[in-house]
Amino acid sequence: MARWLAWWRHPEFQLGLREMAAVSPGLAAWGLMTGVAMVKSGMSPLEAVAMSLMVFAGSSQLAAIPLIAAGAPVWVIWATAFCVNLRFVVFSAHMRPYLMHLPLRWRLFNGYLTADLSYVMFTKRFHHPATDAVGQRNQLAYLGGGSFFNWSSWQIASMLGIGLAHSIPTNWGLGFAGILALLGVGCSLASTHFAGSRPGLLRWQRSRHLRCPSSSISSWPLRRQSPCA
């Protein structure tokens, strides 16, 4: 208990919470409409609650819902979800060096909870995996804060959607707020160091150049072919 409390109080955990809170209206609207979609497809409330709590992946849930309703072959449903989730496989390659210092069960715990937005915000904040215990703890705390907020707001909104399925009109398109949340996060990625504009890119390379003598360079093979290597 004390250990969880220490994580909760960690400044990076709190920062992760706050940064995720900024996109919560989008997340909530998306979770809400996923909840509504599950019930309207004919799932029982119990099935819908189980799906939300266990599957915890909006896009693969939305892909699977009509297939389940149509009684498609099980392997087709699972294969569809796998294809929709392929981006997570790429994310896991990116996250690997950040998490390999953990035992398997905690890697699974963190990996399972790292959805799109937690991943994007985490890799935006930390460009290199930490090499010391303090840095690793900071990174894990930030990831945990973001994932925790993401998970809770998604689940609360999804449960509301399940409960209120028959009084929320789907044709209003409230779920579009989720896309706008991703758009906002995408814009903030584009305007930081993944800049499409030359000045942004040059600024990024210059700042990397200045950082080169630091030990962090050798810690991440990605950077070995940087302009100063």
Partner 1 sequence: MNPSAMNMTDGWTLGVILGLALVTLVTRCFFFLSSQPWQLPHWAQRGLQYAPIAALSAVVLPEVVMTQGQLITTWLDARVFATVAGAAYFFARKGQGQAVLGTIVTGMAVYLPLHIGLGW
Residue 7 beta carbon to partner 1: minimum distance, rounded to whole angstroms: 20
CB of 214 to partner 1, least distance (A): 18
Q: Supply the minimum distance, in Å, between the C-beta of residue 147 and partner 1.
A: 11
Distance separating alpha carbons of residues 148 and 179, to the nearest angstrom: 20
Structure tokens at 171: 């044709």
Tell whether residue 216 is a contact of partner 1 (CB under 8 A).
Answer: no
Q: Which residue's CB is nearer to partner 1, number 71 or number 213?
A: 71
Integer CA distances (angstroms), 169 to 37, 66, 161, in order: 10, 18, 11
Report, in Å, the least distance between residue 98 CB and partner 1.
9
Residue 81 or 156 with smaller CB distance to partner 1: 81
Site for partner 1 in 123-182 (CB under 8 A): 123-124, 127, 172-173, 176-177, 179-182
Min separation Cβ 1 and partner 1, Å: 26
Determine the size of the site formed for partner 1 (CB under 8 A).
Answer: 80
- Exactly one of 17, 77, 141, 143 binds partner 1 (CB under 8 A); that residue is 77
* CA–CA distance, 83 with 45 (Å, rounded to integer): 26
The CB-of-216 to partner 1 minimum distance in angstroms stands at: 15
| Near partner 1 by CB under 8 A: residue from 59, 152, 205, 216 | 59
Pairwise CA distance, residues 226 & 208, whole Å: 8
Touching partner 1, residues 180-199 (CB under 8 A): 180-192, 194
Would you give the binding string for partner 1 spanning residues 11-50, x where CB under 8 A is met?
-----------xx-xx--x---------x--xxxxxx--x
